[in-house]
Structure 1
Amino acid sequence: MPAVTLQYLEMLSPDDLRGKPQPMGLTIMEAQVKDYRFNRFLYQLVGEPWQWTDKLVHTDEQWQSYAEAKNLRTFVAYHRGSIAGYYELRQHPENNVEIAYFGLSPKFIGKGFGGYLLTHAIENAWCWGPTKRVWVYTCSLDHPNAIHNYQARGLQIYKTEERV
């Protein structure tokens, strides 16, 4: 397997956000009733094309501990009744909020939804408590436009690493 490049990005002020407008017909809702099975479904739906496999070996108990934790929030984008994408926000100590997972469903890639979904994620991260930093990481296995979307919204690379 070839080496994978990971890029970590951060935003240190909500003023750095360069948002995209909401596309017509796209709605985003928080999954306020937590159910680890839903998070597992979203992870598989969105992550399959990008080889998100690390959590596929997790037990139900591990999924439940992760997805139903108090420091995790899940938001789902819908278009015409179908799941267009999702993101998870995870609150860390020292008022850091991670965009833990973010992506579009395969049928919705290239429709112009990613910029607004990321805008929504960053806005919600800043509004969650006294947030001092929003961060995310992406890798060379993700969609080639992922890093461009993150940077276009105002996130800055602060670390790059290679993994074999």
Structure 2
Amino acid sequence: MSITVTTWSLEQTSPADQRPASAPEGDIRITRAEVPSPEFSRFLYTAVGGDIRWTDRLGMTYAEWQKWLEQPGVETWVAYDRGTPAGYVELQAQEGGSVEIVYFGLVPAFRGRRIGGHLLAHGTARAWDLAERWPGLPATSRVWLHTCSKDGPHAMDNYLRRGFRLFDTAVAEEEEVATPGPWQGSGL
């Protein structure tokens, strides 16, 4: 069975485009995962994307994850609530000074608590200063991302509130794929 999926591409073209988010309640800390760990990255990917049909990385091997994570300018920033991973944002430096927010989201148990806006604002700021941590990369001239109709219902609004602007929309038919969620076969 196929489904219609709309994909929206959004961007910021200046650090001045950034819009802060109010701080969430509680002890939320955002830390860069500095040691490339395929196990941890795959955990974040399935924990955040399992219920919203993220499937493109499920077939990646350990070596493919490792190669991805070791690229210059690839960073993973993780939000923790009292020591528990609540969500993450993954950045990738690209040609010409662009930085893509490749993945962003929260584990379902942490959604609806204003953590998402805080994490997105932090991740966007880290995209703008990425070259400071990676000598040899050009200064960031653009931060961009895409979201789609399969993502959470508040995703687009969060991106717009953080200062991103729409620059492209695409509609395509995709085969509906059952996602295993964080635990294959559990129904979660």
Per the TM superposition, whether the score is higher than 0.5 is: yes
- Using the size of structure 1 for normalisation, the TM-score is 0.97
Match of 2:101 in 1: 99
- Following superposition, the deviation at residue 158 of structure 1 comes to 0.2
Query: Of the candidates 160, 164, 167, which is equivalent to residue 158 of structure 1?
Result: 167
Which aligned segments of 4 or more residues in structure 1 are displaced greater than 6 angstroms? none
Q: Distance in 2 between matches of 1:34 and 1:146?
A: 27
Equivalenced residues, count: 164
Q: Distance in 2 between matches of 1:14 and 1:103?
A: 22
Secondary structure in 1 aligned to 2:88?
strand
**Correspondence list, 1:48-67, <5 A:** 48-67=50-69
Match of 1:43 in 2: 45
Larger CA deviation: 60-69 vs 73-82: 60-69
**Correspondence list, 1:102-121, <5 A:** 102-121=104-123
Alignment RMSD: 0.9
Match of 1:11 in 2: 12
Q: Distance in 1 between matches of 2:75 and 2:153?
A: 26
Identity of aligned residues (%): 43
- Using the size of structure 2 for normalisation, the TM-score is 0.85
> Does the CA contact (< 8 Å) of 1:36 and 1:68 recur in 2?
no
Larger CA deviation: 35-44 vs 63-72: 63-72
Match of 2:22 in 1: 21
- Following superposition, the deviation at residue 36 of structure 1 comes to 1.5
- Following superposition, the deviation at residue 65 of structure 1 comes to 1.3
Query: Of the candidates 135, 152, 155, which is equivalent to residue 143 of structure 1?
Result: 152
Q: Give a deviation string over 1:86-134, Cα, whole Å, max 9, x none.
A: 0101000100000010000110000111111000011000111210000
Secondary structure in 1 aligned to 2:50?
helix
Match of 1:128 in 2: 130
**Correspondence list, 1:65-80, <5 A:** 65-80=67-82
Flag structure 1 segments of 5+ consecutive residues without an equivalent. Answer: none
> Does the CA contact (< 8 Å) of 1:17 and 1:154 recur in 2?
yes
Larger CA deviation: 67-76 vs 116-125: 67-76
- Following superposition, the deviation at residue 67 of structure 1 comes to 2.0
- Following superposition, the deviation at residue 50 of structure 1 comes to 0.7
Larger Rg over CA atoms: 2
Tell me the amino acid that sits aligned with residue 50 of structure 1: I
Q: Distance in 2 between matches of 1:145 and 1:116?
A: 14
Secondary structure in 1 aligned to 2:51?
helix
Q: Distance in 2 between matches of 1:111 and 1:149?
A: 13
Tell me the amino acid that sits aligned with residue 139 of structure 1: C
Secondary structure in 2 aligned to 1:135?
strand
